[in-house]
């Protein structure tokens, strides 16, 4: 066991893009678990776009991280010591244990981690990303075979799974991503029917060409201009799932709203937001389906693993600058060590 507990605290609230100096490293002693608590060695940390919102002062769907607090984050870890009868040393667990090496928390705040196909799958396919893709697509949009499903942020952790599930459901799937390499990966590796590079192509024209029958379902991770453009392309009774709006998270002024909102009326279309935590009582359903599809070879895991907790303050910007593909994960420690 390492002697210290590296902790990354929120030092100041970011203005615009996150800076490394918005965090502060503090080396603390490894905590002692109290009665009913479990001491966990974090092994992997999930980096998520939602973290940008948690760093802001205003209340969102969860309270903000306070200044001086350990930065919030979902992790997978191994139990080092347990004072809760439900957990034993060596168990693999998941929880919101933060950007740190160790956490001592009540056992009821922990979940059991799967070890197959991998520990990191707890943060990707069978984690928040997979569940978000599953419910945000199937529950909010109810895609039918033959329909055209469009996904923004398609090469990201959620988008890459959304597109694959839509393919499994027999839909025609087009992705929007920010590099030619990502677009090629979506089509060649993940089986998307097409992809558009929004940075180099005229988005409206490119989408019109790639979606000649219009858009029945739009799964939106990006918001902003992308959403506004897609509103011009939706079909009658289209369903839009608002998963995120990553294009706006670093904005220092309130970004413009979608001018084509009237398209919802003309097309009798629906736009709906969701938060994955509302589906907690159905996570098992999603996990089982996702695991089955993965086992069948129909759903690939896409992960982007960065080494070392000390890299986290820099790596998080990969979510926003377009250099990340698949689920962004920080490896904090070796699974064995």
Is 261 an interacting residue with respect to a copy of itself (CB under 8 A)? yes
Q: Kindly tell me which residue out of 29, 63, 252, 265 binds a copy of itself, with binding defined by CB under 8 A.
A: 265
Structure tokens at 211: 């979606």
Is 262 an interacting residue with respect to a copy of itself (CB under 8 A)? yes
| Subset of residues 274 to 313 that bind a copy of itself, contact rule: CB under 8 A | 274-275, 278
Rounded Cα–Cα distance for residues 206 and 134 (Å): 27
In order, the DSSP letters of 310-332 are: GGHHHHTTHHHHT---BEEEEE-
Is 235 an interacting residue with respect to a copy of itself (CB under 8 A)? no
Applying CB under 8 A, the span of 3-11, 158-166, 272-280, 304-312 interacting with a copy of itself comes to: 272-280
Q: Which residue has the tokens 């558009």?
A: 196
Q: Kindly tell me which residue out of 155, 203, 243, 306 binds a copy of itself, with binding defined by CB under 8 A.
A: 243
Contact call for residues 232 and 262 (beta carbons, < 8 A): no
Nearer to a copy of itself, 61 or 204 (CB): 61
Nearer to a copy of itself, 68 or 256 (CB): 256
Q: Kindly tell me which residue out of 147, 228, 287, 304 binds a copy of itself, with binding defined by CB under 8 A.
A: 228
In this structure, how many other beta carbons lie within 10 angstroms of the beta carbon of residue 198?
22
Is 255 an interacting residue with respect to a copy of itself (CB under 8 A)? yes
Nearer to a copy of itself, 182 or 239 (CB): 239
Rounded Cα–Cα distance for residues 334 and 42 (Å): 10
Is 86 an interacting residue with respect to a copy of itself (CB under 8 A)? no
Rounded Cα–Cα distance for residues 334 and 329 (Å): 13
Is 248 an interacting residue with respect to a copy of itself (CB under 8 A)? yes
Structure tokens at 145: 């075979």
Rounded Cα–Cα distance for residues 143 and 217 (Å): 7
Is 56 an interacting residue with respect to a copy of itself (CB under 8 A)? no
Rounded Cα–Cα distance for residues 256 and 9 (Å): 32
* DSSP designation for 308: -
Q: Which residues bind a copy of itself (CB under 8 A)?
A: 60-61, 223, 227-228, 242-245, 248, 254-275, 278
């Amino acid at each position: 066991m390492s002697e210290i507990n590296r902790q990354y605290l929120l030092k100041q609230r970011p203005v615009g893009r996150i800076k490394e100096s918005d965090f502060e490293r503090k080396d603390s002693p490894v905590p002692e678990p109290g009665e009913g608590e479990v001491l966990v060695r974090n092994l992997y940390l999930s980096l998520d776009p939602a973290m940008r919102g948690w760093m802001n002062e205003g209340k969102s769907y969860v309270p903000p991280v306070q200044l001086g607090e350990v930065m919030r984050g979902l992790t997978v870890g191994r139990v080092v010591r347990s004072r809760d009868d439900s957990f034993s040393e060596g168990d693999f667990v998941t929880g919101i244990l933060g950007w740190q090496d160790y956490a001592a928390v009540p056992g009821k705040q922990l979940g059991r981690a799967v070890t197959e196909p991998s520990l990191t799958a707890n943060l990707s396919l069978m984690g928040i990303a997979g569940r978000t893709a599953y419910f945000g697509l199937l529950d909010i949009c109810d895609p039918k075979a033959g329909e055209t499903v469009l996904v923004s942020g398609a090469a990201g952790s959620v988008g890459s799974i959304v597109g694959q599930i839509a393919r499994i459901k027999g839909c025609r799937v087009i992705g929007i991503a920010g590099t030619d390499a990502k677009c090629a990966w979506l089509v060649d590796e993940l089986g998307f029917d097409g992809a558009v590079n929004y940075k180099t192509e005229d988005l409206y024209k490119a989408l019109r060409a790639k979606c000649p029958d219009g858009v029945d379902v739009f799964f939106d991770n990006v918001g902003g201009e992308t959403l506004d453009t897609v509103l011009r392309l939706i079909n009658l009774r289209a369903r839009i799932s608002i998963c995120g709006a990553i294009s706006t998270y670093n904005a220092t002024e309130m970004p413009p709203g979608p001018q084509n909102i009237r398209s919802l009326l003309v097309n009798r279309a629906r736009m709906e937001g969701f938060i994955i935590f509302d589906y907690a009582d159905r996570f098992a359903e999603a996990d089982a389906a996702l695991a089955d599809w993965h086992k069948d070879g129909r759903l690939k895991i896409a992960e982007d693993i960065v080494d070392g907790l000390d890299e986290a303050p820099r790596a998080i910007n990969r979510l926003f600058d377009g250099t990340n593909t698949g689920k962004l994960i920080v490896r904090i420690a070796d699974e064995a060590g």
